[in-house]
A and B are shown apart, each in its own frame.
Chain A
Amino acid sequence: MAVIHVEFAGGVELLFDNVKKLTIPLECVGGDTASKENKILTIKDLLQRLRQSYLKQRPELFLQGDSIKPGILVVINDCDWELMGGPDYALAPGDTVVFISTLHGG
């Protein structure tokens, strides 16, 4: 089954009930409608899925509008997300997405 690996570091894990690693099936990222329509799934969809199903508290400390909060670094497969297309990066099976908070105290 195609999956996405998500990791949290630098204090972001505190917002996810201290869970440091998640494995999310790719078809779960976009919800039911997306899999039917065969839509390309992006980091934006992943953020929405994280907010709906995994984020336990204070969404404003993780997200700002539809995107990630400034100060949280996103690393896709050991590479800065700015170099990979940012929020519009199309997720591929087996990708590892790491969210690292650079805010003091997490």
Chain B
Amino acid sequence: MNVQFKKGVLTLCVLVLTLQKDRYGYELVHTISEKFLIAEGTIYPLLRRLTKEGYFTTYLVESNEGPPRKYYQLTDIGQEYADELIQEWKEFSLGVNQLIEEGILNEQK
């Protein structure tokens, strides 16, 4: 898959996953990799960038069970950015789906 495209989709995924609750790195990686195949290591550079751009703030939680967790919390502008990307994705996927359906129809003729 095209690298830029994949990055965009992964950005969308981590933003969407943090909409309802804060999540820690491993949790994000794990949840996404259950859905589709990724090099799991690429999520962390992404998280670093989004944090530096002000879309996330992070905080560390020590846990009695298991290792400490670095949580990612969406900021207000992160929220806005997520909404924007979701809208873009919807339009984009709608377009692609229509093209696919038309393609299949033409094939059947």
Does A associate with B in a complex? Answer: no
